[in-house]
Structure 1
Amino acid sequence: MGVVAERMSSMKQMADSMKTVGEMLAGRQDFDATTARAGVAALHENCHQAREQFSSATKDHPSRASPMVWEKADEFKDEMERFDAAVKALVAASEAGNLDGMKVPFKDVGQSCSSCHQKFRLPE
């Protein structure tokens, strides 16, 4: 599997983790602290992988990554650092196993995802 396919897989896994945890936090699924921690841990692992998967060698490969990723590399790096910080806060909150304590950090992660996608992802 090439790095672009790996990156797309990492992004899909992050979306799946967000959905699983989000369903619990919204009350659409029963909250299970162990499952929530596992979802957040997977999100954290994929977050770190994704940061390394946007090399300039991949900029001409077909994907939804906008050319802005490479044209405004410093801004993209800042977005990824904000995302990493938000995910780390969610990891810390998930370790406490408290549903209410995870809600704000989870929202921050979602906002970070949206912010990056608006600036650095092409529409379908």
Structure 2
Amino acid sequence: MKLAAVTLAAVLAAGAALAHKGATGIVAERMAAMKDMSRELKAIGDMFGGHAPFDAAAVARHADSNCHRTAILFPPGSADHHSKALPAIWERPEAFQEAMQALHNATEKFAATAPLGDRDALAASFEQIRKICNGCHERFRSPEN
């Protein structure tokens, strides 16, 4: 059973890598930015989840992610089969821009809080970012296959 799950995960990861391989221009740029952002947010989440030691300085470094520039990575006409971006981004641009502004505001607050090292305030701020990301992915991103 474990072998089957590992094999399936490897096949899916390889398929995703191949699908992303042909992306170019702004699509490749946004995919790279989202991957970097995911990596940074995971590192922060690991600290708050007890999977890595809490380090306020590291949180501050990770806080400077690509979150602040996500809105510019989805210009009209940049839908692409390599991307998991749903057409809803361009069909409902006001709703998408509202979500992007909420993310920007939340990450600005988090980045300003990070150097203070207040773990409780950071955790609350991080939870807000997590909720915004999940909500946006539910509405504007194709689910993992």
Over 6 Å off, 4+ runs? none
SS of match in other structure, 1:56 = coil
SS in 1 for 2:77: helix
Provide the rounded CA distance (Å) in 1 between the counterparts of 2:59 and 2:104.
18
Q: Secondary structure at the match of 1:31?
A: coil
Give unpaired runs (5+ residues) of structure 2: 1-23
Question: 1:116 is matched with which residue?
Answer: 136
Q: Which amino acid aligns with 2:55?
A: D
Distance between the aligned counterparts of 1:84 and 1:23, measured in 2?
22
Question: In 2, are the aligned partners of 1:17 and 1:39 still within 8 Å (CA)?
Answer: yes
The number of equivalent residue pairs is: 121
Counterpart in the other structure of 2:25: 2
Aligned-residue identity in percent: 34
Q: What is the CA RMSD across the aligned residues, in angstroms?
A: 1.3
User: What is the match of residue 47 of structure 1?
Assistant: 67
Take 1:57 and 1:48, find their aligned partners in 2: how far apart are those partners? 21
Other structure's SS at 2:53 match: coil
Instruction: Compute the TM-score of the two structures, normalised by the length of structure 1.
Output: 0.91
Residue 62 of structure 1 deviates from its aligned partner by: 3.0
C-alpha separation in 2, matches of 1:113 and 1:81? 12
Aligned to 2:6: none
Q: Which runs of 5+ in 1 are unaligned?
A: none
SS in 2 for 1:102: helix
TM-score (norm 2): 0.78
| 1:105 Cα offset (Å) | 0.3
Task: Give the structure with higher Rg (CA).
Answer: 2
Please say if residues 4 and 61 of structure 1, whose CA atoms lie closer than 8 Å, have aligned partners that are also in contact: no
